């Protein structure tokens, strides 16, 4: 299974960042516009066991996905793919307080690229590059939002 880990320092409290990440309406605000993320069905606030269904544009294809939140706590949010183009996808977000007004957000994504013809387009290396581009955008946008 392939893995990609990124992290960034965010200037806000860990609780403020967790609250922001826990509201599904905020996902489109911090997602790379190139993905054209469209949330199709989601709870207002994430909860363990809840499902989120969304669509993105990637590699010239519109792709529908469904993830289940398998772990939700004050410091961790874990979502696992239940339906989508990859064979497996697990995204762990961990928030670590650095001080009262600064924290570290670490994103760990474990995945298996798709099989078949799509696997020739969505290789592990291309997926990792896409994840990094998305995280760069996400961290920069989160920093701007949380500082405002």
pLDDT score recorded for residue 118: 78
- Residue 31 is part of a domain; what is its CATH number? 3.30.530.20
Q: By percentage, how much of the chain surpasses pLDDT 90?
A: 87
- Give the tens place of pLDDT for each residue, 24-49: 999 999 999 999 999 999 999 999 99
Is residue 60 scored above 90 in pLDDT? no
Structural domain containing residue 87: 2-147
Rounded to whole angstroms, what are the CA distances from 75 to 21, 80, 95, 113, 144?
11, 17, 5, 28, 21
Is residue 2 scored above 80 in pLDDT? yes
Q: Looking at residues 8-27, what average pLDDT do you find?
A: 98
Quickly list H helices, 3-123: 14-21, 118-121
Q: What is the pTM of this model?
A: 0.94
- Give the tens place of pLDDT for each residue, 82-99: 999 999 999 999 999 999
Q: How many domains does the chain have?
A: 1
Q: Looking at residues 104-110, what average pLDDT do you find?
A: 98
What are residue 78's DSSP bridge partners?
Answer: 71, 92
Question: Which one is predicted more confidently, 147 or 91?
Answer: 91
């Amino acid at each position: 299974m392939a893995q990609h880990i990124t992290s960034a320092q965010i200037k806000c409290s860990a609780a403020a960042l967790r609250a922001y990440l826990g509201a599904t309406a905020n996902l489109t605000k911090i997602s790379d516009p190139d993905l054209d993320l469209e949330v199709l069905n989601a709870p207002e606030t994430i909860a363990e066991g809840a499902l989120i269904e969304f669509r993105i544009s990637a590699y010239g294809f519109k792709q529908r996905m469904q993830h289940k939140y398998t772990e939700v706590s004050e410091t961790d949010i874990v979502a696992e793919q239940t339906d989508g183009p990859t064979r497996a996808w697990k995204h762990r977000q961990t928030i670590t307080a650095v001080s009262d007004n600064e924290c570290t957000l670490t994103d760990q994504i474990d995945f298996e690229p798709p099989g078949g013809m799509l696997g020739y387009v969505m290789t592990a290396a291309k997926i990792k590059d896409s994840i990094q581009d998305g995280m760069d955008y996400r961290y920069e946008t989160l920093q701007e939002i949380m500082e405002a």
